Amino acid sequence: DTAVSQTPKYLVTQMGNDKSIKCEQNLGHDTMYWYKQDSKKFLKIMFSYNNKELIINETVPNRFSPKSPDKAHLNLHINSLELGDSAVYFCASSLGTGEINFGPGTRLTVL
Amino acid sequence: DQQVKQNSPSLSVQEGRISILNCDYTNSMFDYFLWYKKYPAEGPTFLISISSIKDKNEDGRFTVFLNKSAKHLSLHIVPSQPGDSAVYFCAAVNTGTASKLTFGTGTRLQVTL
């Protein structure tokens, strides 16, 4: 009964490939997020969706495209992967303000 | 432009003693602050929070203090236990805008026996 789940947990791929990370939350939250933790351990928001609508889009290359088929899911698709995309990606959800619940993370390694 | 800073990347404390983790912020529009705890290979988990209308919030062994004039908050853990060993992230948000948490870079706490 994991609250925020994401798959896969580990992803190793070659440069130039396209990959997706899936995220689901069963908390009934309206807002979902993607955060990226880079090699310097900064946790930075990438996107936020509220009821399937994009509300936050930080300065992220347009190779990254989030898709929210319903308010319980927010998937992240990455085109033409680059070495610098290697990081841990965390999905999260919240009721809208304050505390957010994180998923376990997906460690992406681009070779 | 790091709006939330945790200047100590690591801290080592003996079991039973007090752990004090510090966090500074620069954005005066932040009105809600949170601490998250992260174990290796897991996502951050919420620990404790404080609204800007308060200066202290306590939950069991964990207390968060907020000094708005200094734009500083701290997390106190008393007594520290080995299971507290983790990375602690401070986060801040302006609840009047879209709820974008801004995180510090984290402090790795090691509680030794």
pLDDT < 50 regions, chain B: none
Q: What's residue B99's pLDDT?
A: 64
> Counting beta carbons within 10 angstroms of the beta carbon of residue A39, is it exposed (0 to 12), middle (13 to 18) or buried (19 or more)?
exposed
Task: Verify whether the Cβ–Cβ distance A98 to B43 is below 8 Å.
Answer: no
How far is residue A50 from each of residues A21, A54, A67, B30, B37, measured CA to CA in Å? 19, 6, 12, 21, 25
| Mean pLDDT rounded to a whole number for chain A | 91
**Residue range A19-34: average pLDDT?**
94
**Residue range A20-44: average pLDDT?**
91
Would you give the end-to-end CA distance of chain A in angstroms? 34
Minimal CA separation from A106 to chain B, in Å: 9
Interface test with B, best of A97, A106, A108 (most B CBs within 10 A): A97
Q: What's residue A14's pLDDT?
A: 96
User: Please, which pLDDT band fits residue A98 given cuts at 50, 70 and 90?
Assistant: confident
Would you give the end-to-end CA distance of chain B in angstroms? 38
Q: What's residue B96's pLDDT?
A: 78
Minimal CA separation from A97 to chain B, in Å: 5
In degrees to the nearest 10, what's the CA dihedral of A57, A109, B3, B54? 90
A:B CB pairs within 8 Å: 56
Task: Verify whether the Cβ–Cβ distance A105 to B45 is below 8 Å.
Answer: no
Minimal CA separation from A61 to chain B, in Å: 19
More confident of the two residues A95 and A33: A33
**Residue range A32-42: average pLDDT?**
88
Chain A residues whose beta carbon lies within 8 Å of the beta carbon of residue B34 = 98-99
Q: Assess whether pLDDT exceeds 80 at residue A1.
A: no
